[in-house]
Amino acid sequence: MNPPYPDIYKAYNLTQELRGIFENTIDKIIGFAKLAKWHEKVHQSGFKSFNTTSRTITDRYKTILSYFDNRSTNASAELIDSSRNKAKANSLDPFFE
């Protein structure tokens, strides 16, 4: 079967593959290998739209790979900070000034 828009099909598959790496990989070494293969596929695809993502992964791979060990992000810290900023913006309390 030939998809009617092969470039969109290929870009979609690259996106889904990257998502799958983060959703299904629980080992740092395997994650590193899968990200390297994905990076090579992006390079071979010629899609410039993936260059920023690929370069970010290359530049920050140590931090990104630590995600596979403890499967956590800093989202909880960002939530607390966001809540604090909302309280600060809505408050007339001098404590927040």
| pLDDT (0 to 100) of residue 75 | 62
**Within-domain flag for 49:** yes
**Within-domain flag for 72:** yes
Distances (CA, A) of 94 to 18, 80, 90: 47, 20, 12
Instruction: Quote the DSSP letter at residue 60.
Output: T
- Count the domains in the chain: 1
pTM exceeds cut of 0.85 = no
| pLDDT (0 to 100) of residue 8 | 92
pLDDT, tens digit (0-9, with 9 covering 90-100), for 42-93: 999 999 888 889 899 989 988 888 888 777 666 666 667 777 777 767 665 5
**Within-domain flag for 43:** yes
**Within-domain flag for 64:** yes
**Within-domain flag for 1:** no
Nearest to 31 by CA among 44, 43, 18: 18
pLDDT, tens digit (0-9, with 9 covering 90-100), for 9-19: 999 999 999 99
Which tokens hold the place of 70?
């403890």
